[in-house]
Amino acid sequence: MARFTLPRDLYHGPNALEALKTLPGKRAMICVGGGSMKRFGFLDRVEAYLKEAGMEVELFEGIEPDPSVTTVMKGAEAMLKFEPDWIVAIGGGSPIDAAKAMWIKYEYPEITFEEMCKVFGIPPLRRKAHFCAISSTSGTATEVTAFSIITDYQKGIKYPIADFEITPDVAIVDPDLAETMPKKLVAHTGMDAMTHAVEAYVSTAHCDYTDPLAIFAIRMIQGDLVDSYNGDMSKRDSMHNAQCLAGMAFSNALLGIVHSMAHKTGAAFADYGAHIIHGAANAMYLPKVIAFNAKDPEAKKRYGVIADEMKLGGANDDEKVKLLIEYLRGMNDALNIPHCIQHYGPDSYPTEQGFVPENVFLERLPEIAKNAIADACTGSNPRQPTQEEMEKLLKCCYYDTEVDF
């Protein structure tokens, strides 16, 4: 038996934010990140609409990019004091992911972070509060997914929390919010969405309900992302929908080792002054993982279907896989994303010598590979890597060398 879970209500299109006026409740806590939602007036609107719905409102502000376990615990404490019956998270993936983890701790104050990370092991929520997610970026799709990514900075590891319990009750996908994204964010979140859709389509957990969502999202992203990056706001609006469809697919079909590797490399070199931003990591690793997974006959066939849907040509599946890899690398070029860690600068742009020194990468490689294999996303990858294969694959992602194993 399989399961397919989405938010009960999804409000989309211009002025979808006004749906907040209809939420029934007494107290709402708004969880938000840095200043952009306030600067563009969206936070004031959210607060005003919730008050119009008759609720008392409190803010939990300042959730950082790649939110930490510490932030989650602080937010849960604030919730325990305020006792909201609605948690409303607005922004990119970080504030929404953090709020999901806070929600678990609010409902179960005794639960540990380690217990939260047990895959599909969260006890029933909604005893105290319901959850509304409002996305401002077009990539993570956390507004419709059963996932949250939290970073343990002591270990330098990003941990996925995965459970249908944390799928939001209400998702708001309002294109006005996405129009405020800076160019770099458009690129990274867009390739995150492409990776979600591709990994969902070849995942061992894919099904008839997820396949159409993944394929249609891939076609939309192919048609819209680069133009959105170059300032076409109608394509920016369309990308906001495309990433959401990709999210619906992967929340139910799960992901693969592109995400496992991105989770485990993202904060692994933070002591050298930067993170490998999640969407950029996915963009760099996806072509390598396609080459690795295509050694599996079923995965190769499904990559061939993706290439057909994208109208890339190719006389057989081997040619189609090659053309798909080339196309994705071309997208990275168009979006100013590097091809490998060695050329990944501290500002995320391509550079001759990236911020991760070769000797440091090689020294940490065995541990990163081990952690990537243990990641929650690895189980649904079509080809299960050994420790040796994962290390070789990560080396290909560092040096931009061919995957021939």
3-state secondary structure 120-134: CCCCCCCCCCEEEEE
Q: Residue 117 in contact with residue 152, Cβ under 8 Å?
A: no
Phi, psi of 112 (to 5 degrees): -95, 165
Residues paired with 58 in a beta bridge: 29
Q: Alpha helices of 156-277 — where are they, by DSSP H?
A: 175-178, 183-202, 211-229, 233-253, 257-266
370-379 residue pLDDT tens: 999 999 999 9
All residues at 6 or more sequence positions from 232 whose CB lies less than 8 Å from its CB, including other chains: none
For residue 203, the model assigns a pLDDT of 98
Q: Is the pLDDT of residue 155 over 90?
A: no
Higher pLDDT, 42 or 157: 42
Q: Is the pLDDT of residue 35 over 90?
A: no
Q: Which CATH class is domain 9-178?
A: alpha beta
How far is 134 from 136, CA to CA, in rounded Å? 7
Please compute the mean of the pLDDT values over residues 331-356 and round it to a whole number: 97
Confidence label for 156 from pLDDT (cuts 50, 70 and 90): confident
Q: Is the pLDDT of residue 385 over 90?
A: yes
How far is 267 from 274, CA to CA, in rounded Å? 8
Residues paired with 148 in a beta bridge: 161
Q: Are strands 170-173 and 27-32 parallel, antiparallel or unpaired?
A: unpaired
95-128 residue pLDDT tens: 999 999 999 999 999 999 999 999 899 999 999 9
Residues listed for the chain:
405
The SS3 of residue 367 is: helix
Superfamily classification of domain 196-399: Dehydroquinate synthase-like - alpha domain (1.20.1090.10)
Percent share of the chain, pLDDT over 70: 100
Token pair belonging to 152: 């343990």
Confidence label for 249 from pLDDT (cuts 50, 70 and 90): very high
For residue 178, the model assigns a pLDDT of 94
Confidence label for 343 from pLDDT (cuts 50, 70 and 90): very high
How far is 370 from 390, CA to CA, in rounded Å? 8
Q: Is the pLDDT of residue 157 over 90?
A: no
Please indicate, yes or no, whether the overall pTM of this predicted structure exceeds 0.85.
yes
Mean pLDDT across the chain: 96
Burial bucket for residue 257 (CB in 10 Å: 0-12, 13-18, 19+) = buried
Q: Is the pLDDT of residue 355 over 90?
A: yes
Q: What is the DSSP letter of 384?
A: P
The SS3 of residue 138 is: coil
144-154 residue pLDDT tens: 999 999 999 88
Higher pLDDT, 157 or 19: 19
All residues at 6 or more sequence positions from 79 whose CB lies less than 8 Å from its CB, including other chains: 29, 60, 87, 102, 103, 105, 106, 129
Confidence label for 327 from pLDDT (cuts 50, 70 and 90): very high
Q: Are strands 27-32 and 86-91 parallel, antiparallel or unpaired?
A: parallel
All residues at 6 or more sequence positions from 311 whose CB lies less than 8 Å from its CB, including other chains: none
How far is 20 from 88, CA to CA, in rounded Å? 9
All residues at 6 or more sequence positions from 234 whose CB lies less than 8 Å from its CB, including other chains: none
Nearest C-alpha neighbor of 26 from the set 70, 56, 59 = 56
The SS3 of residue 163 is: coil
Q: Is the pLDDT of residue 383 over 90?
A: yes
Query: Considering Cα of 177, then 276, then 74, then 149, what sign does the dihedral take?
Result: positive
Residues paired with 127 in a beta bridge: none
User: Would you report the helix, strand and coil content of the chain in percent, each value rounded to 5?
Assistant: 55, 10, 35
Q: Give the domain ranges of the chain.
A: 9-178, 196-399
Nearest C-alpha neighbor of 249 from the set 197, 179, 181 = 197
Percent share of the chain, pLDDT over 90: 96
Please compute the mean of the pLDDT values over residues 267-295 and round it to a whole number: 96
Q: Residue 95 in contact with residue 33, Cβ under 8 Å?
A: yes
Confidence label for 17 from pLDDT (cuts 50, 70 and 90): very high
Q: Is the pLDDT of residue 158 over 90?
A: no
Q: Alpha helices of 6-53 — where are they, by DSSP H?
A: 36-39, 42-52
Please compute the mean of the pLDDT values over residues 188-194 and round it to a whole number: 97
